[in-house]
Amino acid sequence: MNQNLMSFRLATPAQRQEAQAFYDLCGYAGTEIAPHDRVLLARRGDQLVGIVRLCPEAGFCCLRGMQVLPDYRRLGIGSQLLGHLLPLIGDEPCLSLPFRHLERFYGQIGLQRLALADLPGVLQQRMQAYQTLGIDVIAMGRGWPPVGA
């Protein structure tokens, strides 16, 4: 495979250990990859250079764990990951708690800022826990609240 060629694919069950090791390498402090998470991998040749995942929750999916190796940042890999993620989200409501400075970045796929009170309880608690730790995150989502809710 051409070393400059980027590929974007969902992790197979056999690749989940590699994906978790990538999170560890990046210093990602979030939760471990769960069996039902959809994990999207970005590779340059054979090297894993980026990752993001969709975690199913009650009534929505949560976009979590976007990580790109430092040497590969600002090359559009994160935006490409989001672009490949969009068809996986489809019409499903999607929520996320990204760093505040990434609001425009996640806006690329239609996520918009939400008020804390608009979030489901589990995400309200997670956001408050992050803020207690001094992590500057905002609530974002698309398709939320769901139509008819």
Q: Which residues contact 11 (CB under 8 A, 6 or more apart)?
A: 18, 19, 39, 40, 41
pLDDT at 25: 94
| Mean pLDDT, contiguous 10-residue spans, the chain (149 residues) | 76 95 92 94 96 94 96 95 96 96 97 95 94 95 79
Give the pLDDT of residue 102: 97
Residue given tokens 């969709």 in the structure block: 54
The pLDDT, as a whole number, for residue 23 is 96
Pair of tokens at residue 65: 């764990």
For residue 149, the model assigns a pLDDT of 55
Q: What is the amino acid identity at position 116? A: L
| DSSP codes of every residue in 2-36 | -TT-EEEEEPPGGGHHHHHHHHHHHT--SPPPPTT
